[in-house]
Every structure is written in C-alpha cells, then in structure tokens.
Structure 1
Amino acid sequence: MNADNTRAADQGLAGIHILITGAIMFGEFLWFSSSAWLSVETYAVTAYSDTDNFQMLLFQTSRLTLALLYLYYVAGWSIRRLSWGITVYATLLGIPIFLALGLGQDLVAIVLDGLQGAPPNPTEGTAPSPEDVPVATQLVAPATAGGWLLTIGYALLNGVYEELFLVGIVLAVRQDWRVAAMVASVLVRAGFHTYQGLDIAFTMALLGAAMFALYRLIGKLWPLMVAHGIADIVGLSVIGLVYGILGES
C-alpha cells in the first residue's frame, strides 16, 4: 500500500475510486439489467437453481476480490476502516430490520398496484391458494440440504457484497463527494433491478435510501447485510413470505 495513497485515504476515498470500484462490482449487472429493460423484457425471478447460485457465488467472489485489491493497492484504503459491528446482537438485529424493510416494500407494492389498477388480493380472511398468489411472491424452497446451504451461502455473500459497496464504501468517500455518492448509490441499486420492471427498480431506490437512514441510526453495517441476506433467501416481502408458508401448509 502506497504511503501517499494511505494519507489521502485517511481523508476519505476520492470519487474516482468509488466510480472504478462500482464499475468492477456492478458494471456487468447494470449492463445486463439495462439491456433487458431497453429491450422491453422483464424477468420475474422467483428462484435460482443450485447451478445459478454457485456460478453467481464464484462470479461475485472474484469481483469482490478484485475490488478489494484495487482499493487496497491503488486507493490505499482497507475495509477494516468500516464500522462492521459483527456480533450476535447485530446478527439478530437483522431480523427486525428485514421485517421492517419487507413491510415497507409490501406497502409500496400495494400503492403501486393500486395506481396501476392491479387485481385485488385474495379474499380477506381465507388462506390463499398458490394460484391466488402472484408468482413473484411465492416462496420457492431448495429441494436438497445442499441446495439450502448454497442458497444461504450465496444470499449472505450477496448481502455483504451489495451493502459493503452501496452503503459502506460509498460513505467512505470524501465529505465533499458524499451526497453525490449517496445519490449514485441509490441509482445503481435501482439500476441493476430494472430488468424486473420500473416498479421494482423504484422500490429498490427507496430501499437504498432506507439503508442509508438505518446505517445512520445503527452505525453498523452487519445488521443491514444480515437483513439483506434474509431477503435474498425468502424474498423482500413479509406478505409474500406468509403466503408462501400458508401455501405449503
């Protein structure tokens, strides 16, 4: 690590380092998502196969390694500077954070569905059948124990991967770049979800703003990463989770 770079990093990361790190970690995701959106193709992803999860785990691990090497050797900055807060309490705190974010997402979805004239939910007071529940909210469980381990492992990696950059690294930027970096982070989070439609992208933008607010409140990254990991396992929808459980019972 270069001493001059280290002294500069003590004052915060330069905007160019945030830009390059973001390109390393999210450039291909943004390209895929934007291409799908511009071609008017949206994908309702409900579950990934074990092969998909394994390939993505390898891909994101390689990109994360490359990004961290760049930050350490070129920018003179280490993720040890971040406030991680990895404790049992912080891990458990991820659960209510997930529930709060999931309910918030459900509320946004209800409002957007109402504005778009979407069909009503299943009859109140009855357990919905799988046919009544939108495909995007159904809980699809892995078929094997190995599949569960792979799903959980990749979900946790993805939670760390996204929140590390979109909250942690972004907020390590120099003070005069911070607002611009936060706006860019929200747009990036929305941008790599456009393949699922603009309503999902808009919801993800709100989620990005909520993550910054939660980090300001909690001051630790780990609970946000855990909450994100839970959402990647069961879906960011408390209503969808309940429907999925009821559908299995």
Structure 2
Amino acid sequence: MITRSTVDSWLRPAPPPPSPPLDARERRALWFEVTIVLIVTFGLSGVYSALSLLESALQPGGLSEQAVALNPSRSTHSYIDLARQLLGIVKLAAWAALGLYLLWRSGMGPRRIGLGRMRFRDAAVPGVGLAALIGVPGLAFYLAAVALDMNLTVMPSTIDDHWWRLPVLVLWAIANSAAEEVLVVAYLISRLRRLGWGENSSLLVSALLRGSYHLYQGLGGGLGNVLMGLIFGRYWQRTGKLWPLVIAHALIDAVAFVGYALLRGHVSWLP
C-alpha cells in the first residue's frame, strides 16, 4: 500500500554524497566544462529545437497539421542511408562516452553513477516498470496535445523498408537512451551538485534541458519530456541507479520506433 509518507519520501531527494568544496579556480573550470559539454551536445540541440518549433508555428495552419519524423531516411541510396544512420548513432554513443569519461576523470566511475555490473532484478525489473509508467500516459498525453493543436504529428520512423531498418531503429533507441541518461541525468546533476546547487534546482535544470531538445515536436513534446525528466532525475537522485533509466528509455523508444515501422501502412490511424 502506498502511503503519504512513502510519496513524501520519494518527492524529497536523498542526501547527496559528501564532496570537498571547490576553490574559485576549480569552480570556474567546472563551469567551463559544463558549458562546453552542453554546447557540443544537448544544449545546442535545445536551441535548434526551439527554432524549429518557432518555424513550425509560423507556418500556415496549426501545428497538428504538420508532421515531423524522428528517424527519417537520410539518402535515397540504401547503403549511404545506412552509413549516415550509423554515423548518427555513433555520435550519440560518443556523447555518452564523453560524459562517462569526464565523470571518471573526476573520480566518479561507472559504478558511482549506477552503471556498474547490471543485475536483472535491480535494473531490468524497475526499468520495465518505469517504461510502463512513462510510456502509456505519455502516449495519451501526446494524443491530447495533438488534439489541442499543441503538437506536431510525430512519425517515429520514415526510413524506407531496407533489410537493416529494424536493427538500426533498435540501435537508435539504445543510443538515444545512453546519451540522454548519462549526460542529462548523471553528468549534469552530479556536476551541478559539485557546484553547490541543491537537489531540486539541479533536477529542474536537468528536466528543462530534456524538454528543450524535444520542442521540435511541439509544446506537448517539450512538456511531456520535462515531466519524464523530473521522474527519471528524481529516481536517480533517490537510488543512485542509472541502469533502470537507460533500460526504460531504450524500451520506450524501441517500441515506438519498431512498432511504428511495422504497423505503418497496415493500420489506418497511423500517419
């Protein structure tokens, strides 16, 4: 039975691990690091996404009359398309590796951020639970946002029907998950902790960043991902476990990407 005290305990973050204070030079260097990482990765993506939403809003007709593909074809030639898809996946994997490397250099190895040896009960089970918690209401939220003309019509995949399409979509789901959860949750929140930010303020910044680079989908996509960021970030703050977030995010994306690719053209209600 879920009691009020249980809910309250989850709304309150766990005390962060103690760390020595930073002097002025270290603080300045850490701010430079965070700024550069965000410019190279999701921060700049957030700016592009906001501009994309503004451009869509300036088009004639409502947002819901426009469509956006999450995984489009990148060439009319099959193997060039495949190469470009794989390069995009490698880029996201490199972003995740960058976050892991910088954390490791500062004494926070994978185990410290919850990416140690994966155990099924501690990772997969809560990961599936989080995927259900986010995925099912998220679909309802998306449909409501489209109905209210707050969102573009999202097409999870428009990649042509090549032999490599489904495995590439699964790789995209894994790469998205790894990059976002490592950088936006573990890296950013832990860095803001070192800079003296409180748990609630660092959680809010992390969630707003996650929402910003989904704004190209519409206001609904941005807000929905802010809510996802609040849940995921608080889970990590409370448990210190990142594997469940990576698994949950990968499952959500894989089901959306692969399911859409398989059903598109066979059911009338999919765009």
TM-score (norm 1): 0.69
Q: For residue 157 of structure 1, what is the amino acid of its counterpart?
A: A
Query: Mean alpha-carbon deviation: is it higher for 195-204 or for 148-157?
Result: 148-157
In structure 2, the CA distance between the partners of 1:38 and 1:135, relative to structure 1 (3 Å rule), is closer
User: Residue in 2 aligned with 1:223?
Assistant: 244
5+ residue gaps, structure 2, are 1-17, 58-65, 74-81
Whether 2:263 is the aligned partner of 1:247: answer: no
For 2:246 and 2:127, the matched residues in 1 are separated by 8
Gaps in structure 1 of 5+ consecutive residues = 1-8, 119-133
Q: How does 1:108-147 map to 2 (within 5 A)?
A: 108-113=141-146, 115=148, 136=154, 143-147=161-165
Displacement of 1:68 in angstroms is 4.1
Bigger Cα displacement from structure 2, 80-89 vs 162-171: 80-89
Q: State the Cα RMSD in Å.
A: 3.8
Which of 51, 55, 66 is equivalent to 2:87?
55
Change (3 A) 1:201 1:230: same
Answer 1 or 2: which has greater helix percent: 1
- The alpha-carbon deviation at position 147 of structure 1 amounts to 2.5
Contact 1:43 1:195 in 2 (8 A): no
Partners of 2:173 and 2:253 within 8 A in 1: yes
Deviation at 1:138, TM superposition (A): 7.2
Distance 1:197 1:186, change over 3 A: same
In structure 1, the residue matched to 2:136 is 103
Which residue in the other structure is 1:128 paired with? none
Q: CA deviation at 1:94?
A: 2.1
Shift of the 66–82 alpha-carbon distance from structure 1 to 2, 3 Å rule, reads closer
Higher relative contact order (CA 8 A, sep 6+): 1
Aligned positions of 1:21-170 closer than 5 A: 21-40=37-56, 44-49=68-73, 50-73=82-105, 75=106, 77-84=108-115, 86-89=118-121, 90-113=123-146, 115=148, 136=154, 143-170=161-188
The TM-score, its normalising length taken from structure 2, stands at 0.65
Give the 3-state SS of the residue equivalent to 1:44 in structure 2.
Answer: strand
Change over 3 Å in CA distance of 1:48–1:192 after alignment to 2: same
Q: Which letter maps to 1:22? A: L
Contact 1:94 1:223 in 2 (8 A): yes
Give the secondary structure class of the aligned counterpart of 1:247.
coil
Q: For residues 245 and 67 of structure 1, do their structure 2 counterparts lie closer, same or farther at Cα, with a shift above 3 Å needed?
A: same
TM-fit CA distance, 1:220: 1.4
- Closer, same or farther in 2 for the Cα pair 1:81/1:18, shift >3 Å? farther
| Residues in 2 aligned to 1:43 and 1:113: alpha-carbon distance in whole angstroms | 11
Q: 2-side partners of 1:71 and 1:117: how far apart?
A: 37
Q: What amino acid sits opposite 1:53 in the alignment?
A: Q
Letter of the structure 1 residue corresponding to residue 54 of structure 2: L
CA distance in 2, matches of 1:29, 1:104: 25
DSSP-derived class of the 1:84 partner = coil
How much does 1:46 deviate? 4.9
Aligned counterparts of 2:177 and 2:213: Cα–Cα separation in 1:
15
Deviations along 1:162-190, one digit per CA (max 9) or x if unpaired, are 01122212332326314332222111111
Q: 1:246 offset after TM fit, Å?
A: 8.1
Contact 1:71 1:78 in 2 (8 A): yes
Partner Cα distance (1:108, 1:12) in 2? 42
Question: CA 1:117/1:181 → structure 2, altered by over 3 Å: closer, same or farther?
Answer: closer
| 1-structure distance, mates of 2:49, 2:95 | 17
